[in-house]
Amino acid sequence: MTTLDIVGIEKSFGATPVLRDVSLALGHGEFLAIVGPSGCGKSTLLRIVAGLEAADRGSVRLDGQPVDALPPKGRDVAMVFQSYALYPHMTVAQNIALPLVMRDLDRRQRLPGWRLVSAATRAARRRIAGTVAEAADMLQLSALLDRRPGQLSGGQRQRVALARALVRRPRIFLLDEPLSNLDATLRTQTRNEIAQLQRRLGVTTVYVTHDQVEAMTMATRIAVMFEGRVHQVGTPEEVYRSPASLAVAEFVGTPRITVLDARLAPGGVMLGGRLWPAAFAAPPGGGAIGPADIRVGVRPEGFVLGDPAGPGMLAARVSHVEYLGSEGLAHLLLDAAPRGAVARIDAGLAGRLRPGETVGVRPDPAGLLLFGPDGRRLDARVGQPSSAMAEAS
């Protein structure tokens, strides 16, 4: 059980800043997913924690102790690489055993054949074989111990990499996109296996991925990174329900959040030709509410579809309907949403709706997320638009 603190890490490659003042804290046994688009610096951060890369500034602490001067070996961390990085000339058993061999045997004991002359080496080798068998058993690799990585499928290689990481019970697990080389079915299955394994072993884990679904489904907390900065850290629910920035809101959640153009107006927000009364926790724009352009995010489940003539409805044209069996998704074109809108609808409606049809769509005020001109979230409670205003416009 180990805590991990990442404090004020900065890193540049040449003139290009990769990490800017990144700080994260993980408690004992926590599973943190770092998620972000490729090039956001998440892998570099993981490599700095592993000790494979040195930070320009800042510090990595395990159990409160800075480990910045230690090589990877001295940190007792284990890492699973995107390519798995298995040793192709070793069998599965030898691959899994390597961290133990390097840790438990000295240089002389590692010589091939030394076990013939030393009883202590024989005993150590036996212990290692036992631990390897346990790890292999945990990951259903027992039947494959004598194979070489080249004879294994992608999913099996991935499990070997996991076994090699967990076999010596490291203080920290670091996983760098471990599922991205697997096909979709296997990815879903392995996702659950890794999450369960982590919970069972209780090892503090940092999991880097560009796939927000992985992050949401596996981690206890998520850190969302863009361009070397952490935009938000929170539970999957916090990040989904109250994203800190428009970038986070757009990155997290499938299908993507719908972004509507809106303007601040006295007493609320002008959206779709109506005034939606809004109470701001802190006045946006540094005090006075100006007529600034803002954006409003609506999750797919935050839309209500109905008769275009109904109260508070915005007219929208159906461009495409996805029927998913238990529910459906309606892709809509409306004036306020330049990039289109996606609404979650019930399966019955999805069966009836035809592309080209005009429908009414109304965002649920409780689900509206307001973002200022700088993309940051505006903390506001939005109420129902007045129908009087609707008629006036």
Angle at 50 between CA 47 and CA 51, to 5 degrees: 90
205 — phi, psi (to 5°)? Answer: -130, 135
Minimum CB distance to other proteins smaller for 149 or for 363: 149
Tally DSSP H helices, then E strands, for the chain. Answer: 11, 22
* Among residues 64, 150, 286, 356, the one that binds other proteins under rule CB under 8 A: 150
CA 25 to mean position of chain CA atoms: 16
Amino acid at 107: R
Which of these segments, 17-25, 146-154, 262-270, 321-329, binds other proteins (CB under 8 A)? Answer: 146-154
Nearest residue to 303 via CA among 317, 293, 313, 318:
313
Which of these segments, 29-37, 70-78, 204-212, 288-296, binds other proteins (CB under 8 A)? Answer: 70-78
Name beta bridge partners: 315.
360
Amino acid at 77: V
Minimum CB distance to other proteins smaller for 175 or for 224: 175
* Among residues 77, 203, 246, 332, the one that binds other proteins under rule CB under 8 A: 77
* Among residues 29, 37, 58, 72, the one that binds other proteins under rule CB under 8 A: 72
**What is the strand order of the sheet 358-363 is part of?**
303-306, 358-363, 314-323, 327-334, 337-346
Name beta bridge partners: 274.
271
- What is the rounded CA–CA span in Å between residue 344 and residue 349? 10
Position 169 contacts other proteins (CB under 8 A): no
Position 295 contacts other proteins (CB under 8 A): no
Minimum CB distance to other proteins smaller for 11 or for 47: 47
To the nearest whole angstrom, how small is the minimum distance from the Cβ of residue 201 to other proteins?
17
Structure tokens at 267: 């007493």
Position 124 contacts other proteins (CB under 8 A): no
* Among residues 27, 54, 63, 89, the one that binds other proteins under rule CB under 8 A: 89
| Secondary structure class of 276 (helix, strand, coil) | strand
Position 252 contacts other proteins (CB under 8 A): no
Position 61 contacts other proteins (CB under 8 A): no
Position 103 contacts other proteins (CB under 8 A): yes
Minimum CB distance to other proteins smaller for 81 or for 280: 81
Position 13 contacts other proteins (CB under 8 A): no
Q: 137 burial class (0-12, 13-18, 19+ CB within 10 angstroms)?
A: exposed
Position 180 contacts other proteins (CB under 8 A): no
To the nearest whole angstrom, how small is the minimum distance from the Cβ of residue 195 to other proteins?
22
To the nearest whole angstrom, how small is the minimum distance from the Cβ of residue 169 to other proteins?
14
Decide: 300 and 324 in contact? Cβ < 8 Å.
no
* Among residues 55, 79, 275, 298, the one that binds other proteins under rule CB under 8 A: 79
Position 127 contacts other proteins (CB under 8 A): no
Decide: 97 and 129 in contact? Cβ < 8 Å.
yes
185 DSSP 8-state letter: H
Position 159 contacts other proteins (CB under 8 A): no
To the nearest whole angstrom, how small is the minimum distance from the Cβ of residue 168 to other proteins?
9
Amino acid at 370: L
* Residues that bind other proteins in the complex, under the rule CB under 8 A: 47, 50-52, 71-73, 77-79, 81-83, 85-90, 98-99, 102-103, 148-151, 164
